[in-house]
Amino acid sequence: MHDTQHKQLIIGAGFVGLGIAQALKAAGIPYDQVDASDDIGGNWHHGVYTTAHIISSKKVTQFTHFPMPAEYPAFPSAQNMVDYLRQFADHFRLQDHIQLGCKVILVRPIAQNRWEVTFDNAEQSVYKGVILCNGHHWCKKFPDLKGRFNGPIWHSKDYRHPDQLQGKRVLVIGGGNSACDIAAEAARVGAKSILSLRESVWFMPKSFAGIPIANLAQPWTPEWLQRLMVHSIIRLTFGSHKSYGLPKPKHRIFAKHPTLNNEVPYYIQHGRIAPKPAVDYLEDDHVHFVDGSIETIDLIVCATGYKVAYPFLPPELQRVNGPIVECYAGSLLSDYKGLYFLGWRQARGGLGSLIAAYGQIFAQLLKLQDQLEIPLGLVFKDLGVALPKTHLSDPQVVFRQLRLLRLSFPWLKRKANQMDKKYAHFENQPIVATPKTKTVTVY
Ligand SMILES: Cc1cc2nc3c(=O)[nH]c(=O)nc-3n(C[C@H](O)[C@H](O)[C@H](O)COP(=O)(O)OP(=O)(O)OC[C@H]3O[C@@H](n4cnc5c(N)ncnc54)[C@H](O)[C@@H]3O)c2cc1C
């Protein structure tokens, strides 16, 4: 890569990275894009089980300006998703800017507000800015399991195909979407399927009256009304948790990322999935649960989620607090300019419609940043914008916020220019690459 000093670098060519690349290209912003994988598509290419289907529906998951093929079902498969993302990249001619098999191992600020990027082949390039689209479904989170187990303990990320469950007594730990998919698959092909839920969850059907749940919310629908709608739908389809031998969840609907799954309640009532409370301890091939029950198990799958992680950033730039990245307006830092955190939030709806809306605004923000000396995040901070308190987001709220930001952009620009004078001559503080910095780079 040559003469990159005036370009942005996008790390990751998954759903988010591709959407952002297209927005930058449309806005005439020069950039390069790299991905560690051998192809584009991110998780949908290399990170999900072959039988996965989206839960968020075709309508809300497609990029608004590039609809999925008409023949796609309402809930496209992982393969559909990969094909769609390839079509998207081809249509907007994004491939020319993408370098595959290129892993970033270190990103650090250097003098003159530039960013030095080191790749795993030891090459280095200098960029004006770095846009982090490295995904948040890869850094496995495991539960703290007491005792010793004879068989394999996997993370849901290691599950690829139903053959891996064939004839096995499977324990799945977790209550999210992957947990339910894997428990349902074990109910079909395994000898036994046990689903351990530390806390009960709200199972939502994927559709109601033939309409995907994700399509029901309208831009004007407040969250309390969405919650009421979903609650009524759950009552009408599944009824109460008691019918499945489960306690009522302690949290309100939407207080956690929703679990959309029709199959778990179905298989529980067929006796093919046995729900259990939390695991107490493991002993040889036995699993003891906190209610005193014991099961003989061949395979444990921990579908216990992921950590948000940026292993290529030096400690000074690690801004992750649990599942939250502490940045302004979804992506900006207040003390460094030119580093952008994208795609770390967990939206209830599909990604495409959100990225399509955010991408345009983000391109405008990048152009505004070019005109300023201070970090744009500092402008938002000074205007009283708070750091995020949750990683969960209601797409309707995001759409409303983006509309407001679009309308108030001339005002934001004026304020930013005024503030720029106040903090004149801002420079990013360079970070020296120490051996310690370099060890943070395992991916
Ligand atoms: C089972 C499952 C079901 C899901 N269902 C839905 C759904 O219904 N709807 C929905 O919208 N989302 C769903 N998701 C979320 C899914 O992760 C997103 O749709 C999407 O893949 C996220 O895109 P991304 O670009 O942020 O991350 P990814 O798709 O993970 O892409 C990130 C890319 O960055 C690359 N990368 C990472 N680090 C580096 C590095 N250091 N150097 C170079 N390249 C790097 C990776 O190779 C990867 O290709 C689901 C996820 C799972 C696991």
Work out which ligand 1 atom sits closest to the CA atom of 351: 11
**pLDDT-derived band at 349, boundaries 50, 70, 90:** confident
CA nearest 183: which of 259, 272, 279?
Answer: 272
Domains 8-139+307-423 and 142-304 are alike in CATH topology:
yes
When pLDDT is averaged across residues 300-314 and rounded to a whole number, the result is: 97
| Distance separating alpha carbons of residues 193 and 216, to the nearest angstrom | 32
Kindly report, residue by residue over 11-58, the tens digit of the pLDDT. 999 999 999 999 999 999 999 999 999 999 999 999 999 999 999 999
Confidence of residue 439 (pLDDT cuts 50, 70, 90): very low
The tens digit of pLDDT for each residue in 372-389 reads 999 999 999 999 999 999
Task: Output the pLDDT for position 442.
Answer: 33
SS (H, E, C) 156-217: HHHCCCHHHHCCCEEEEECCCHHHHHHHHHHHHHCCEEEEECCCCCCEECCEECCEEHHHCC
Reported as a single tens digit per residue, the pLDDT across 77-97 is: 999 999 999 999 999 999 999
Q: What is the mean pLDDT of the chain?
A: 95
Give nearest CA residue, ligand 1 atom 7.
Answer: 54
pLDDT over 80 (residue 101): yes
Q: How far is the CA of 424 from the centre of ligand 1 (A)?
A: 39
Strands 192-196 and 273-276: parallel
Question: What's the pLDDT at 435?
Answer: 56
Matching CATH number, 142-304, of 3.50.40.10, 3.50.50.60, 3.90.650.10, 1.10.10.10: 3.50.50.60
State the pLDDT confidence band at 433, using cuts at 50, 70 and 90: confident
How would residue 416 be classed by pLDDT, with cut points 50, 70 and 90?
very high
Q: Hey, whose CA ends up nearest to atom 48 of ligand 1?
A: 42
Two tokens, residue 282 = 């493991």
For a ligand 1 pocket test, name from 34, 40, 43 the mutation site with the most ligand atoms within 8 angstroms of its C-beta: 43
300 three-class SS: strand
DSSP state of 245: T
Distance 158 CA to ligand 1 centre (A): 15
If pLDDT is split at 50, 70 and 90, which confidence band does 405 have?
very high
The pLDDT score that the predictor gives to residue 443 is 32
Q: How far is the CA of 201 from the centre of ligand 1 (A)?
A: 24
Q: What is the pLDDT of residue 436?
A: 53
The answer on pLDDT for 216 being more than 80 is: yes
Bridge-based pairing state of the strands 207-208 and 211-212: antiparallel
What span, in angstroms and rounded, lies between the C-alpha atoms of 300 and 341?
A: 34
pLDDT band at 218 (very low <50, low <70, confident <90, very high): confident
One-letter amino acid for residue 126 of the chain: V
At residue 328, what are phi and psi to the nearest 5 degrees?
Answer: -95, 150
35 C-beta closer than 6 A to ligand 1: yes
> Is 188 near ligand 1, meaning CB less than 6 Å away?
no
Task: Report whether CATH 3.50.50.60 matches the domain 8-139+307-423.
Answer: yes
Confidence bin at 219 (pLDDT 50/70/90):
confident
- Determine what percent of the chain is predicted with pLDDT higher than 90: 93
Residue 327 clears pLDDT 50, i.e. is over it: yes
pLDDT digits (tens, 9 = 90+) for 153-211: 999 999 999 999 999 999 999 999 999 999 999 999 999 999 999 999 999 999 999 99
Are the beta carbons of 223 and 392 closer than 8 angstroms? no
13: CA distance to ligand 1 center in Å? 9
| Stronger pLDDT, 359 or 435, i.e. the higher one | 359
- pTM value? 0.95
| Ligand 1 midpoint to CA 131 (Å) | 15
Residue 67 has pLDDT above 50, yes or no: yes
- Residue 263 has what pLDDT? 97
Domain boundaries, the chain: 8-139+307-423, 142-304
Q: Ligand 1 centroid vs 16 CA: distance in angstroms?
A: 8
The protein residue whose alpha carbon is closest to atom 41 in ligand 1 is 104
CA distance 51 to 324: 29
Cβ neighbours, 10 Å, residue 77? 17
Q: Alpha carbon of 76 to those of 58, 188, 290, 297, 425: distances in Å? A: 7, 21, 38, 33, 50
Angle at 65 between CA 43 and CA 80, to 5 degrees: 35
Indicate if ligand 1 lies below 6 Å from the C-beta of 104.
yes
pLDDT reported for residue 437: 52
- Among 224, 260, 231, smallest CA distance to 396 is for 224
Mean pLDDT of 265-289: 98
If pLDDT is split at 50, 70 and 90, which confidence band does 217 have?
confident
